[in-house]
Structure 1
Amino acid sequence: MKTLRMLETAVTLLFRAVVGIAFLVLIAAVLVQVVGRLSGASPVWTEELTRFALLYLAAVGAGLSLKSGELVNVDVVCEAFPERIAWTLRLVSALLVAGLGLYLLPMAWRFTTIGNFQTSPALGLKMSYVHFTVFLMLALLAFFAILRVVGMLTGTDNGRPAHLNIDPEE
């Protein structure tokens, strides 16, 4: 179990750094674009880079949001039920997210490989690097959902979002 926690911590730190880098790239590209428009010569590559950075930001952020419980959820519905039913609903939800993510991974990889035959018009980047965001998002959602399921079944996690992680007996 300790190894699993260390893996979760390492993956979380790595992808938090990726979110930070994507956000910095996004900020820099928009800044260059705005300054370019003020000077009358906005580089065409900034729009494309902004889109690509936003895709990575969303793909990685989705997995991290699932981990922290900040991904869009129906907490109001789950928490209206008695604790045992709410716990079961959270478990089923995590199982469905993990199952769907794992099921879609091969198709997302096929989509990623199609990008090897395409390049982006402004940056000349292989589109497989851009298409990879779909695979990455599904992989991270499945990974963090599986961790939640394992945590719930072993009793180390109750499946609640961090902001709702309070003792129901209080």
Structure 2
Amino acid sequence: MTALIRGMRVLLRVGTGLSFMVLILAVTVQVVGRSFATSPVWTEELTRFALLYLAGFGTGLALLSGDLVNVDLVSESLPRRGPWITRLVSALLVLVFAAMLVEPALRFTRIGAMQTSPAMALPMNYAHGSILLLLTMLALAAALRLIAMLTGAADGRPDNLTGEIE
């Protein structure tokens, strides 16, 4: 289980890093272009696509690390097993809602194949696919968190609270 979570984290970190790198490059081309004349039109669009993919990869990573929005003040102040149960129910709800939205996101992505982006002339399913990616990665991260909690491999607490250093 630990190896699977570690592999998922590596995949999400690489995806997040590549998305961020594309974002930085596009913005750099845009700024440099504006300094000398006009920037290429495609940089605006590529920046938007990179931001979408950054969110798609980063959200799952944030859930796995515990950096996604937590209400620790409330959950951690509960008595006995209350905090653990709260974290388990939270992961379960994230899994259920993300899984419910995967199929509509897939339909949305398929619709994008019939459209093209204005500046780059790419099929819009590349942009729409970022939403499918976000929901899928979020559902997988929630499922991994649930399994880890139920098997005792993790307690569901954020990494920075457990002192885990990677």
Identify whether the pair has TM-score above 0.5, normalized to the shorter chain: yes
Structure 1 vs Structure 2 CA RMSD: 1.1
Unaligned stretches of 5+ residues in structure 2: none
The Cα shift of 1:76 comes to 1.1
Q: Provide TM-score, normalisation by structure 2.
A: 0.94
Amino acid at match of 2:59: A
What does residue 134 of structure 1 align with?
Answer: 131
CA distance in 2, matches of 1:114, 1:135: 12
Question: What is the DSSP-based 3-state SS (H/G/I as helix, E as strand, rest coil) of the residue aligned with 1:125?
Answer: coil
CA offsets 1:92-148 (integer angstroms, 9 cap, x no match): 000000111111110110011010000000001111011011111111111111111
How many residues align? The count is: 163
CA distance in 1, matches of 2:83, 2:14: 33
Amino acid at match of 1:162: D
Moved over 6 A (4+): none
What does residue 157 of structure 1 align with?
Answer: 154
CA distance in 2, matches of 1:37, 1:83: 59
CA distance in 2, matches of 1:113, 1:126: 10
Amino acid at match of 1:136: L
What is the identity percentage for the equivalent residue pairs of Structure 1 and Structure 2? 54
Unaligned stretches of 5+ residues in structure 1: none
CA distance in 1, matches of 2:89, 2:82: 10
Paired residues for 1:19-168 under 5 Å = 19-165=16-162
Question: What is the DSSP-based 3-state SS (H/G/I as helix, E as strand, rest coil) of the residue aligned with 1:120?
Answer: coil
Q: Provide TM-score, normalisation by structure 1.
A: 0.92
CA distance in 1, matches of 2:159, 2:10: 17
Amino acid at match of 2:61: L
